[in-house]
């Protein structure tokens, strides 16, 4: 029955453990690392204990009937903005609302961003974000750290990496917000991050390219002008520079929210020379810049901006080919009133779109319904690859003995329902979309937390933090 059944409660790491009761997920098609098969999954003490024919198993406290359904590892969104302030705007979602819409749609882990404030130590940054999240999360939560004070406090970073803060986010633009890092600074960070066994996440829009745009010729009353201020060429140039640095330093590099096929192809072409991965977001493969035209165009402002149809179609093809490693949302929901209060100058509109609750059905729409890829693509692009990115595979992202019992039971043939990407009072770009994909059950560390899309025991958040104190 495996060593996992002998694990004591006191030996559980952060984010694991569901009590000593055993749960059997019975009769489903299990998408395991070696492929799909009809099997049962035995859960004990918050972890997967055994996968196989367990129809005669006795002594379980609960049986989850998955007959005729699909059993996948819990999904992971590695790019989420919640419970934070961006510029002068407070985000609409906190950890409670963000994690609820996530787990109700099969996302059992999300990764948010922790940005260092002026005058704040990195240890203080870590504490501040942990306090915001602790006790409020309905799924597991990890963090990407953005140091802003230079020089970086490498001793503190070494301690944070040891505590589970393995990923760092930098920006090649946003000087005015105090987030910009130059290429020399990025290279120096990459050398050290590589030595610590960490990974760099990079927002790629080259600031020098953006500076060449003639802003005086832009009509600020037209949200579509955002596409001129942030051209795709800025992304491609930044990706080119970043890939060269990854090849030189051998620092694991992950390019976030790739919005152009050309940038994705650059990354794919470098795979044999550099440890580089990338993600895209549903908006870049399903929406186009035409959304920015018309009365409500400002509601679709995000950075990078939505692209033209040719770029969208090219991005979809690159995603389907496997050159893009994973899908993530860049979930960034602003309050409806804040988005609407722009007085005819689109530059005053907070830039970002919600997406958390829509990630799984939209990935299903693109990969499975449109392109007839197997359902296992969801297990790869939304579970295994994200878990590898954050250094948690196979603890997360797999249904295998010893893995956390984060399990999603899906029914692709459910009744059509509208998508809900946020529970906050925010404009939802996906509210006209529908799906037949139904989340029947979600287990988090072996505890059933969702049944038929509804959160169970909402007053008892079951999520845990995946990074400890410094």
Classify strands 417-418 and 434-435 as parallel, antiparallel or unpaired: antiparallel
Averaged pLDDT score across all residues of the chain: 94
Domain contains 198:
yes
Q: 431 is written with which tokens?
A: 């509210």
Domain contains 465:
no
For residue range 143-192, list pLDDT tens digits in order. 999 999 999 999 999 999 999 999 999 999 999 999 999 999 999 999 99
Say what the pLDDT of residue 17 is.
42
Domain contains 327:
yes
pTM of the model: 0.95
Segment 106-126 mean pLDDT: 97
Three-point CA angle 340, 342, 344, nearest 5°: 120
Domain contains 313:
yes
DSSP state of 306: P
Say what the pLDDT of residue 217 is.
86
Question: Does residue 12 have a pLDDT over 70?
Answer: no
**Cα(24)–Cα(44) distance, integer angstroms:** 9
Structurally, the chain folds into a number of domains equal to 1
Domain contains 368:
yes
CATH of the domain at 212: 3.20.20.140
Domain contains 334:
yes
Question: Does residue 52 have a pLDDT over 90?
Answer: yes
Task: Match 């799984």 to its residue by tokens.
Answer: 360
For residue range 179-193, list pLDDT tens digits in order. 999 999 999 999 999
395 CB-side CA count, 13 A: 15
- Determine the structural domain holding residue 338 and report its residue range: 74-389
**Cα(265)–Cα(258) distance, integer angstroms:** 10
Domain contains 113:
yes
**Cα(16)–Cα(106) distance, integer angstroms:** 17
Domain contains 164:
yes
């Amino acid at each position: 029955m495996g060593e996992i059944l002998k694990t004591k409660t006191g030996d559980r790491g952060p984010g694991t453990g569901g009590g000593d009761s055993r749960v059997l997920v019975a009769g489903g098609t299990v998408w395991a690392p070696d492929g799909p098969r009809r099997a049962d999954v035995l859960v004990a003490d918050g972890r997967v204990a055994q996968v196989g024919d367990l129809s005669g198993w006795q002594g379980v406290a609960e049986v989850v009937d998955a007959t005729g359904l699909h059993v996948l590892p819990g999904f992971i969104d590695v790019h989420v903005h919640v419970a934070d302030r961006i510029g002068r705007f407070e985000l609409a979602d906190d950890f409670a609302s963000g994690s609820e819409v996530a787990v109700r749609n099969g996302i059992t882990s999300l990764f948010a961003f922790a940005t260092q404030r002026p005058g704040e130590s990195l240890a203080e940054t870590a504490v501040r974000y942990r306090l915001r999240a602790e006790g409020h999360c309905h799924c597991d939560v990890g963090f990407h750290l953005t140091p802003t004070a230079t020089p970086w406090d490498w001793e503190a970073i070494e301690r944070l990496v040891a505590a589970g803060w393995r990923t760092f986010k930098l920006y090649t633009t946003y000087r005015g917000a105090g987030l910009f890092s130059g290429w020399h600074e990025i290279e120096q960070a990459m050398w050290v991050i590589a030595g610590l066994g960490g990974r760099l996440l990079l927002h790629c829009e080259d600031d020098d390219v953006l500076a060449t745009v003639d802003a005086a010729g832009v009509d600020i009353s037209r949200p579509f002008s955002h596409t001129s201020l942030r051209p795709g060429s800025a992304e491609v140039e930044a990706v080119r520079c970043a890939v060269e640095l990854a090849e030189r330093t051998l620092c694991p590099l992950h390019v976030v929210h790739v919005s152009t096929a050309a940038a994705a192809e650059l990354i794919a072409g470098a795979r044999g020379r550099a440890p580089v991965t990338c993600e895209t977001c549903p908006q870049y493969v399903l929406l186009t810049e035409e959304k920015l035209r018309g009365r409500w165009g400002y509601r679709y402002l995000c950075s990078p901006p939505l692209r033209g149809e040719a770029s969208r179609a090219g991005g979809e093809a690159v995603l389907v080919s496997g050159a893009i490693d994973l899908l993530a949302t860049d979930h960034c929901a602003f309050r409806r009133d804040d988005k609407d209060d722009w007085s005819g100058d689109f530059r005053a509109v907070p830039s970002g779109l919600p997406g958390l609750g829509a990630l799984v059905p939209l990935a299903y729409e693109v990969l499975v319904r449109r392109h007839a890829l197997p359902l296992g693509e969801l297990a790869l692009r939304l579970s295994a690859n994200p878990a590898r990115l954050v250094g948690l595979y196979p603890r997360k992202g797999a249904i295998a003995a010893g893995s956390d019992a984060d399990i999603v039971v899906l029914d692709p043939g459910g009744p059509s329902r509208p998508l809900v990407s946020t529970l906050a009072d925010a404009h939802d770009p996906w509210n006209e979309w529908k799906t037949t994909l139904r989340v029947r059950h979600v287990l988090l560390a072996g505890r059933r937390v969702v049944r038929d899309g509804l959160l169970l025991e909402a007053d008892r958040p079951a999520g845990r933090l995946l990074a400890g104190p410094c």
